[in-house]
């Protein structure tokens, strides 16, 4: 390989990206070839994310129950691994009939104040009130008002699961990822594990139909939705908002990502749109905004086009849809409720 004199680290990564062969790009031409590719690439993804924690007893406890008018909001704590517990809100519609079981949704938050944002809890802080309103960030509340049981966990480093110590002016995701790497672990993996433990808890609830669970999220919530949906067959459909794109665009060329989003080594095998193809045949709705400055629309369109090809190959193109809307990095919600009603 020819050596090029270059002092720009940014150009180094761009050139490395352009000249790296990715053998697991989606290229299947038949259903059997797709299934073989999916099995192999999913195993590679698991290897890039490994190791996963070991399971422990959840030992859940409900520590709070608040009347929210049309629904109850419970706060629950359960264990996910040794030395780590998850705190989550569970939103329960009040119109449940005796012994009725409802479909449930794992609502994944992005950067911000964790579960509070999705449940429209701003604590009267003006910046948070403005951000929640501008991003239409209350999709957990929107789902429970539509009749779903909803669980909203805090991911590690957000909400009540803070890092501790002084982190002013620092990216806490990067700090947590560095700490995890010292133990040979990955922050994204740890949060996916917590998501799967949250599904375990959902399935233990008497109000929940354990076979009808969906997942939805914006931004880092979209990240969590995408990977958890790939890896956990209990999720039956998903809404990925403000995330489906290309690593080469948002990560390599522009650097719009943090340490919580990295399947280590994945670019040696495939791109983000290839990973999204692994969701098929599950129903998938993608939200992309035309003025998103983080996930640029031309790359989102390119990624969606590839995912669409996978669904078309399987003869289930009606299970994949895109809500492209005028706006910025925000939750649209224009099609999400109808999508969940149809597929969940």
In a domain, 276, yes or no: yes
In a domain, 272, yes or no: yes
As a whole number, the mean pLDDT across the chain is: 95
| Percent of the chain residues past pLDDT 90, beyond the cut | 89
Q: Which of 15-19, 89-93, 95-99, 164-168 has the lowest mean pLDDT?
A: 164-168
In a domain, 1, yes or no: no
In a domain, 28, yes or no: no
Taking the CA atoms of residue 77, residue 153, residue 119 and residue 289 in that order, the dihedral angle to the nearest 10 degrees is 180
Instruction: Output the domain CATH number for residue 71.
Output: 3.40.50.1820
pLDDT of 227 higher than 70: yes
User: What pLDDT score does 110 carry?
Assistant: 95
Average pLDDT over residues 62-90: 98
pLDDT of 78 higher than 80: yes
Q: What is the rounded distance in angstroms from the CA atom of residue 280 to the CA atom of residue 41? A: 13
User: What pLDDT score does 2 carry?
Assistant: 66
pLDDT of 169 higher than 70: no
In a domain, 203, yes or no: yes
Query: Which residues, in sequence order, are CB contacts of 3 under 8 Å at separation 6+?
Result: none
For 81-120, the pLDDT digits (tens) are 999 999 999 999 999 999 999 999 999 999 999 999 999 9
Average pLDDT over residues 305-314: 98
Query: What is the C-alpha end-to-end distance of the chain, expressed in Å?
Result: 51
Q: How many domains does the chain have?
A: 1
Q: Are 202 and 149 in contact (CB under 8 A)?
A: yes
pLDDT of 168 higher than 80: no
For 171-206, the pLDDT digits (tens) are 888 899 999 999 999 999 999 999 999 999 999 999
Average pLDDT over residues 243-270: 92
For 1-11, the pLDDT digits (tens) are 567 789 999 99
User: What pLDDT score does 4 carry?
Assistant: 72
Query: Containing domain of residue 299, as a range?
Result: 61-343
Confidence at 260, pLDDT banded by 50, 70, 90 = confident
Token pair listed for 45: 């993804």
Average pLDDT over residues 59-78: 98
């Amino acid at each position: 390989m020819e050596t090029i004199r270059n002092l720009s680290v940014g150009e180094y990564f761009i050139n490395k990206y352009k000249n790296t062969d990715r053998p697991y790009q989606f290229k299947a031409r038949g259903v059997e070839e797709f299934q073989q590719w999916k099995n192999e690439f999913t195993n590679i993804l698991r290897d890039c994310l490994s190791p996963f924690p070991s399971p422990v007893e959840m030992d859940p406890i409900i520590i709070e129950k608040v009347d929210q008018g049309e629904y109850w909001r419970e706060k629950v704590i359960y264990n996910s691994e040794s030395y780590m517990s998850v705190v989550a809100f569970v939103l329960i519609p009040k119109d449940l009939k005796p012994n009725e079981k409802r479909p449930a949704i794992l609502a994944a938050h992005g950067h911000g104040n964790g579960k509070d944002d999705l449940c429209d809890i701003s604590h009267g802080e003006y910046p948070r009130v403005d951000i929640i309103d501008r991003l239409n960030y209350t999709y957990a509340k929107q789902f429970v008002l539509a009749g779903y049981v909803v669980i909203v966990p805090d991911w590690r480093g957000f909400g009540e699961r803070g890092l501790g110590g002084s982190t002013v002016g620092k990216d806490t995701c990067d700090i947590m990822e560095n700490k995890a790497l010292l133990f040979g672990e990955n922050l994204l993996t740890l949060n996916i594990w917590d998501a799967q433990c949250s599904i375990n808890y959902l399935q233990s609830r008497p109000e929940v139909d354990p076979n009808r669970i969906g997942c939805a999220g914006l931004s880092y919530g979209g990240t969590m939705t995408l990977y958890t949906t790939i890896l956990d067959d209990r999720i039956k459909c998903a809404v990925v908002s403000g995330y489906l794109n290309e690593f080469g665009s948002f990560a390599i060329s522009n650097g719009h990502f943090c340490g919580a989003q990295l399947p280590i080594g994945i670019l040696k095998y495939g791109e983000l749109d290839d990973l999204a193809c692994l969701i098929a045949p599950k129903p998938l709705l993608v939200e992309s905004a035309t003025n998103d400055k983080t996930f640029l629309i031309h790359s989102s369109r390119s990624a969606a086009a590839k995912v669409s090809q996978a669904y078309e190959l399987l003869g289930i193109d009606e299970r994949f849809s895109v809500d492209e809307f005028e706006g910025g990095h925000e939750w649209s919600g224009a099609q999400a409720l109808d999508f969940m009603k149809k597929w969940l």
